Amino acid sequence: MRFVDEAEITVEAGDGGNGCVSFRREKYVPYGGPDGGDGGDGGSVYLVADKDLNTLVDFRHDRRFRADRGEDGKGANRTGRSGNDRLIRVPTGTLVYEAETSELIGDLTEDGQRLLVARGGRHGLGNTRFKSATNQAPRQFRPGTPGEVRRLHLELKLLADVGLLGMPNAGKSTLIRAISAARPKVAEYPFTTLYPQLGVVRVAPGVSFVVADIPGLIEGAAEGAGLGVRFLKHAARNRLLLHVVDVGTAGTVEEVAASVRTVEQELAGFREDLGATPVWLVCNKVDLLRPEARQRVYDELVQALGWEDRWFAVSAATGEGLGPLIEAVGRFLEGDEAHAH
């Protein structure tokens, strides 16, 4: 399914039903009193988070959503039926903004969470409500109030435990294919994933984590170059970032180190607090290095970067080193910081 992470919709709550003007008509009561009932409340519009959705693509076609209007009141003091609420399912991780002002209305982070985005109109009052000692036959009534109408901007941020970062063609798509059931497009030529991919990685029976293949970054992404901030924002919710680098075909150690610094600068330029997210280095494509040269390349790269956090050597193509990486990530997410590479 095509990934769509932004959409704009209009929501319209139902109007409240009008109050009724009515008088009793009974055979032996020639001057019956007022019996006009109240109207019903208009239905409201809610957004509901659904963990089974992972795209906003449906909102590219359906952009207007209405709740039911409240029924008008009736004679014999019958109250009009309230309008049904409109529930709109959105992916978990959806941010909701007022389109006109860009004000954040809500953040739907948990499955089943509801957010009221348009309140239904209040019911009108029937003429029974206006009866008094001095006004025995009131003809006053109150109409229902209009329901709210709002234009909303929806923005989806992936809710993944682990994000894969790196330059285009670093092997992130191959890595996510190797450790999960996700199937992003993979090719031999340099290109970047157009839409983030989510995969579930099984660590042990009943233990798993969600990993996101975030599209490759290029220099200037934080200022909007290339795919820009459209995908940098997805890294904001990850608990751990894996920085994947190509040590097999990307050139010299100095060139690989320069690519790592480029991505780090883009992360820091996008949001300062993103720099606080733990980042582990994943040296990918080690199968393309001569066995006798591997340790030297690792040592030189870690030294060139001054890397102090964990690092791993893997081959997404052959599966080499993936087991220890997955196990370490699983322990980290469970809060066990004792093990380090």
**Residue 94 vs residue 4, higher pLDDT:** 94
Mean pLDDT, rounded, for 323-338: 82
pLDDT value, residue 236 = 65
- 111-132 pLDDT tens trace: 999 999 999 999 999 999 999 9
The overall average pLDDT reported for the chain is 83
Q: Give the pLDDT score at 322.
A: 95
First-to-last C-alpha distance (Å) of the chain: 37
Q: Would you state the pLDDT for residue 61?
A: 81
Of 1-15, 222-236, 284-298, least confident by mean pLDDT is 222-236
| pLDDT band at 187; cut points 50, 70, 90 | very low
Partnered with residue 50 across adjacent β-strands are 91
326-337 average pLDDT score: 83
Q: Encode pLDDT of 68-114 as tens digits.
A: 999 999 999 999 999 999 999 998 989 999 999 999 999 999 999 99
Residues 6+ apart with CB under 8 A from 185: 173, 193
DSSP 38: P
pLDDT tens digits, 45-68: 999 999 888 778 788 788 999 999
How do residues 137-186 score in pLDDT, each as one tens digit?
A: 899 999 999 999 999 999 887 667 888 888 877 888 889 889 886 554 44
| Rounded average pLDDT over 191-208 | 68
Q: Which CATH superfamily groups domain 6-156?
A: GTP1/OBG domain (2.70.210.12)
pLDDT of residue 195: 55
pTM of the model: 0.63
- Of the pLDDT bands very low, low, confident and very high (cuts 50, 70, 90), residue 8 is very high
State whether residue 290 is helix, strand or coil: coil
Reduce the DSSP state of residue 192 to 3 states and report it: coil
Of the ranges 156-165, 188-197, 252-261, which one carries the lowest mean pLDDT score? 188-197
Q: Print burial letters for 176-197: b (CB count within 10 Å at least 16), e (below 16).
A: bbbbbebebebeeeeebbebbb
Q: What is the pLDDT of residues 261-307, one digit of tens each?
A: 887 876 766 655 556 788 899 999 999 999 999 999 999 999 999 88
In the predicted model, is pLDDT for residue 259 greater than 80? Answer: yes
d(CA 78, CA 236): 53
**How far apart are the C-alpha atoms of 335 and 341, rounded to whole Å?**
16
Mean pLDDT of 27-50: 88
Pick from 162, 172, 178: which is nearest to 195 by CA?
A: 172
* Of 252 and 119, the one with more pLDDT: 119
> Could you give the angle at which helices 291-305 and 253-270 cross, rounded to 10 degrees?
40
What pLDDT score does 196 carry?
63
pLDDT at 223: 40
Q: Which residue has the higher pLDDT, 64 or 340?
A: 64
- Report which of 202, 183, 180, 201 is spatially closest to residue 193, judged by C-alpha positions: 183
Residue 154 tokens read as 């929806």
Listed by start position, the domains of the chain span 6-156, 162-333
Fold of 162-333: Rossmann fold (3.40.50)
